[in-house]
């Protein structure tokens, strides 16, 4: 495993700048997640590190070695693609062994066998080693795809939304397992996704990618509580942060220049009150909690509420802010 350092990495396709002057230092043994919507430049960033694309500008070092001009095979990275790309005619065992059979690995059969069985256990596919990969469920195939990267011990694992094609339950399971495996191996891992839950639960640090630019990087807690701007604030949090005009609601003290206030559930105090400053519009029941949709004049906001809270649509309530976030007219964060 190794440090991976990007400096000013830039890549355009025609006049589209896919990756824009990205500086990123991934530390040895760190799990970094790049979070961004479709088109943000996530896949291109991974492909640049892997050597599948060449940057227009900037430098990349892996383990202290400059990567300029080096072919993918010489870079010592392992890539897990969004779509599992297994060899359909091979068994699970052979799929896992394949990367170790390359002459460059110079590994003897006993070592390969031990490694394959160890990784198969890790990704919990050891009971299906003799199955053909076409006989597996989607979740099992993706475990094999991840396992096939893990059999190698590269400088860095690059993973491109590897769980996005799976159903919610499997995704939740595999994200726990991936985090456990990464810790166990002490692996350096760069994982990209558009899923905020994956980012929050797995990352040591989250980088927020927007239109090719790395807007902010920090621990999940830092990104959530201390977002640099409106864009970052809107990436994390369920329900979404409410963006409202300054002065609409009482409570909080807006710094000079603030035009909008960002309020998450923890910034909002509500109480049932006839003639209050707001009213309940509708209620989404989620079981353990409710999403309360509230109207303040013409403005709407959503907050979490205790399912036992005795309110129905149409009820008057009072809404007060406590220590919300403030933003200037350009969306940058103020105060805090
Ligand atoms: N090979 C390519 N040719 C032309 N445009 C591309 C190519 N690859 C990516 N792009 C463009 O670059 C931008 C970033 O793409 P991508 O890195 O795939 O984003 P993400 O993985 O975050 O969805 C998008 O606008 C995409 O259309
Ligand atoms: Mg992509």
What are the residue boundaries of the structural domains of the chain, listed by start? 4-235, 242-334
Name the residue at shortest CA distance from atom 5 of ligand 1: 13
The answer to whether 125 and 147 are in contact (CB under 8 A) is: yes
Ligand 1 first shell, C-beta below 6 A: 13, 16, 18, 36, 38-44
**How far does the centroid of ligand 2 lie from the alpha carbon of residue 39, in Å?**
7
Q: Which CATH number fits domain 4-235: 3.30.390.50, 3.40.50.300, 1.10.10.10, 1.20.120.1200?
A: 3.40.50.300
* Ligand 2 geometric centre to CA of 193 (Å): 8
Predicted confidence at residue 148, as pLDDT, reads: 93
Instruction: Give the mutation target among 10, 20, 41 for probing the ligand 1 site: most ligand atoms within 8 A of CB.
Output: 41
Residue 319: its pLDDT value, please?
A: 97
CA distance 126 to 152: 17
Q: pLDDT over 90 for what percent of the chain?
A: 80
Residue-wise pLDDT for 183-228, tens only, equals 998 999 999 999 999 999 999 999 999 999 999 999 999 999 999 9
pLDDT at 324: 97
Q: Locate the ligand 1 atom nearest the alpha carbon of residue 37 and give its number.
A: 22
Which of 59-68, 98-107, 117-126 is the most confident on average? 59-68
CATH top-level class of 242-334: mainly beta
User: What is the torsional sign of CA 271, 336, 233, 289?
Assistant: negative
pLDDT at 167: 83
Report the C-alpha gap between 59 and 48 in whole angstroms: 10
Of the residues 11, 12, 18, which should be mutated to test ligand 1's pocket, given the most ligand atoms within 8 Å of the CB? 18
Residue nearest to atom 25 of ligand 1 (CA): 39
258 Cα: distance to centroid of ligand 1 (angstroms): 35
Ligand nearest to C-alpha 212: 1
In whole angstroms, what is the distance from residue 248 CA to residue 259 CA?
Answer: 11
For strand 4-13 and strand 242-245, is the pairing parallel, antiparallel, or unpaired?
unpaired
CA distance 208 to 193: 10
């Amino acid at each position: 495993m190794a440090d991976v350092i990007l400096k000013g990495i830039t890549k355009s396709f025609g006049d589209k700048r896919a990756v824009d002057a990205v500086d990123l230092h991934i530390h040895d043994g760190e799990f970094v997640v790049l979070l961004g919507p479709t088109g943000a430049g996530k896949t291109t960033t991974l492909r640049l590190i892997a050597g599948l694309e060449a940057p227009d500008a900037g430098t990349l070092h892996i383990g202290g070695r400059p990567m300029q001009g080096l072919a993918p095979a010489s870079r010592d990275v392992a890539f897990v693609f969004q779509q599992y790309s297994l060899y359909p005619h091979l068994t699970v065992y052979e799929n896992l062994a394949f990367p170790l059979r390359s002459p460059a690995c110079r590994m003897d059969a006993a070592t390969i066998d031990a490694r394959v069985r160890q990784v198969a256990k890790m990704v919990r596919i050891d009971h299906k080693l003799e199955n053909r990969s076409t006989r597996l469920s989607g979740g099992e195939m993706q475990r094999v795809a991840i396992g096939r990267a893990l059999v190698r011990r590269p400088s860095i694992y690059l993973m491109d939304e590897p769980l996005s094609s799976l159903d919610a339950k499997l995704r939740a399971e595999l994200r726990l397992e991936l985090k456990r495996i990464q810790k166990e191996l002490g692996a350096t891992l760069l994982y990209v996704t558009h899923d905020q839950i994956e980012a929050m639960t797995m990352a040591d640090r989250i980088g927020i990618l927007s239109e090719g630019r790395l807007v902010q990087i920090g621990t999940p807690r830092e990104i959530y509580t201390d977002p640099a701007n409106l864009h970052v604030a809107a990436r994390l949090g369920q329900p979404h942060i409410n963006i409202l005009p300054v002065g609409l609601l009482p409570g909080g003290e807006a710094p000079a220049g603030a035009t909008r206030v960002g309020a998450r559930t923890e910034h909002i105090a509500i109480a049932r009150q006839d003639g209050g400053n707001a009213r309940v519009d509708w209620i989404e029941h989620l079981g353990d909690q409710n999403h309360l949709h509230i109207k303040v004049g013409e403005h709407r906001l959503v907050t979490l509420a205790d399912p036992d809270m005795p309110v129905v649509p149409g009820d008057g309530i009072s809404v007060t802010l406590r220590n919300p976030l403030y933003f200037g007219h350009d969306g940058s964060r103020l105060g805090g």
